[in-house]
Amino acid sequence: MANNDEIENLFRNLPKSPEFSELERKRQEKLIRSYVADMEKEEGLKTNSTLKRFQSQFSLAAGFIVLVAGVSFASSQGIFDSKDDLVISMPNPEKPSTGSETSEGVDQENSGTSQTPKPTNPDGVEEFESGASNQSDVDKFINNTGLDYLSDTQKAKQLVKISASPLLISELPQAYGKCAIELGINKELLGIDKGKYDGTSVLAFYYGDSRSTASIWIVEKPCIKLENL
């Protein structure tokens, strides 16, 4: 059995790699400068696109205001006062039903589904929306145990539902997907759990090949790494 000194010696006697050449150092410096320059460009692009989005939203809003002002001006001038115009623009709830519409109505009454009526459209025909949830499969693997990963890691590991195969990042909420990419685990992400770490609210990203070998990244919002378990 190795004693403390042997373990310390093992570390102390580890071989070092030879010093880097001046050429290698210069190469690293160059790499740093180009990496940071790329980063600056990216940030610049992001800022520009945010500005463009703001500008287009602003022009849309301004256009809407002009339209509303125009309409109210026109109505104050009595341009839309014609009764014929009013009749044409109103929906007609008293419109005689055709045979096909009646049978549709019966079908809807008898179907017993959780369909819920939406307000009628301008033609007086009801539109329906299915009550079935569009919840994606990925949602099953976004857990919310609330457990503290500093003290209850084992319990959390047992409770958390994780997928047998890697999750599709595109189906995750954007912030989670982005964080998984930042952590470099986007191709092996198996599940996410909302929990605590030493009392702080965190997300636990489970990744790896399977439950037994999965590792966990504990991150604080927005995606600050705290611990890798």
Partner 1 sequence: MDRYQHGDFDALAELAITLLPKLEMMARRRFSDQSLAIEATQEFWIKIIKNAKSFKHDSKVQTWAIQIVNNAYLDLIRKERRSKIEFDELSAVENNANFSNEFSEDSVNEITIRSALRSIPKDQAAALTLVLMDQFSVEEAATILGVPAGTVKSRISRGKDALRVKLEEKNRLPGNQKHV
Binding interface with partner 1 (CB under 8 A): 1-4, 6-8, 10-20, 24-25, 28-29, 31-33, 35-37, 39-40, 43, 182, 209, 215, 224-225, 227-229
Nearer to partner 1, 37 or 62 (CB): 37
CB of 3 to partner 1, least distance (A): 8
Nearer to partner 1, 19 or 127 (CB): 19
CB half-sphere exposure, 214, CA atoms < 13 A: 27
The CB-of-155 to partner 1 minimum distance in angstroms stands at: 16
35 or 64: whose CB is closer to partner 1? 35
Question: Minimal distance in Å, beta carbon 217 to partner 1?
Answer: 9
Task: Say how far apart CA 25 and CA 7 lie, in whole Å.
Answer: 33
Kindly report the number of other CB atoms within 10 A of residue 159's CB atom: 13
Task: Choose between 44 and 117: whose C-beta lies nearer to partner 1.
Answer: 44
CA distance 192 to 175: 12
CB of 143 to partner 1, least distance (A): 22
**Minimum distance of partner 1 from residue 175's CB (angstroms):** 16
CB-nearer residue toward partner 1: 100 or 212: 212
Among candidates 170, 163, 137, 165, which has minimal Cα distance to 180?
A: 170
Per-residue DSSP letters for 68-128?
HHHHHHHHHTTTT--HHHHHHHS--TTPPPPHHHHHHHHHHHHH----EEPPP-TTS---E
Give yes or no for a contact between 161 and 140, defined as CB atoms under 8 angstroms apart: yes
